[in-house]
Amino acid sequence: MHWDVIYRNIDYFLIGPFPKAKLPALALLVIVAVMLFLALRWLKEVIHDTHLSVVETKPTPMQRIVLYLGTPLLLTGLWFLVLEPMYPEPLFDTCWDAIDNFDRLGGITMSIILAALGIFGAFWVGLVVGLMRQSKRRIFKYPSMAYIEVIRGVPLIMLIFWFFFLAPMLLGQAMPKFWTTLVAFIIFTSAYIAEIVRAGIQSLPSGQTEAARGTGLSGIQSMMFVILPQALRNMIPSFVNQFVSLTKDTSLASIIGVNELFLSANQVNQRELTAPMEVFTTIAVMYFVICYVLTATSRRLERQMARYQARDR
């Protein structure tokens, strides 16, 4: 047994060939992204609050203060009080440095980034395509039907290759491999998401739409406030299935040379040559852990949202 191979290469499994000296820059980038995300969520909450009452469970005022004021404050404090003094160079340059070295990032970090962006993109594209599929208007319905049928009829690996070779033809220059695969992932998964969305909407009793329209809500309003909130909850298990698939399928990005977990592991394996079993067992466990976190989170989400179904009539 050569488990020391894993131990010696653990950093490669985690971040691939990313230069270790730039790691703090990467961390900083993550912090900036989180701050941006929180700021946006806060903004959304504010808008929501003054407008509509459709969110039923609201954070308590205390939670809200902590979450939406405290967190950004804390992060800003961290930035100016801890990070700035630690860094000789200006912080924004440091962040930029991390972006500059992005194409050298690999390992499980890259796999997670690919999966997360893929899931995010596929959800929104799939939602739009699924809603278009539901529409009575032909200009929406038929293109989305064609999209779903075509995409579901081809293997993912072919889509990856296809975009890899298509992008230079369309753009006149090579697109980074990372983006090519991400586009392929989003397009591939969104077709399945669209079908889930359609089925989820159709499975709701028609009385819901009628009650909503009957009180004067517009079609869009009844979709946004009555149909989708219910349908999306019912769709969670199917979504998670799809997202778990996608997470594992990110390993296919390795065939055009995107350095993610699978490729990183392969590189380690070829460098060491003594421990293939250990190397591939390790990444198997890593993939499993990511997928398990996904399913566990979704189960929790489902339980939270199932409150209102407490008693069925």
- Positions touching other proteins (CB under 8 A) are 52-54, 56, 205, 207-208, 210-218, 221, 225-226, 229-230, 233, 307-313
DSSP structure class, residue 251: G
Cβ–Cβ < 8 Å for 153, 188: no
Nearer to other proteins, 172 or 216 (CB): 216
Nearer to other proteins, 110 or 127 (CB): 127
Residue located via tokens 């460098």: 271
Report in angstroms how near the CB of residue 308 gets to other proteins at its nearest: 4
Cβ–Cβ < 8 Å for 16, 109: yes
Nearer to other proteins, 134 or 208 (CB): 208
Question: CB 224: neighbour CB atoms within 10 A?
Answer: 15
Report in angstroms how near the CB of residue 237 gets to other proteins at its nearest: 17
Nearer to other proteins, 111 or 230 (CB): 230
Report in angstroms how near the CB of residue 255 gets to other proteins at its nearest: 43
| C-alpha to C-alpha distance for 300 and 305, rounded to whole angstroms | 9
Please, what is the angle between helix 276-305 and helix 3-15, to 10°?
A: 50
Amino acid identity of residue 213, one-letter, is: R
| C-alpha to C-alpha distance for 21 and 103, rounded to whole angstroms | 15
Token reading at 276 = 């293939």
Report in angstroms how near the CB of residue 51 gets to other proteins at its nearest: 8
Nearer to other proteins, 230 or 267 (CB): 230
> For residue 141, how many C-alpha atoms fall within 13 Å in the half-sphere facing its CB?
5
| C-alpha to C-alpha distance for 41 and 38, rounded to whole angstroms | 5
Nearer to other proteins, 45 or 272 (CB): 45
Report in angstroms how near the CB of residue 105 gets to other proteins at its nearest: 40
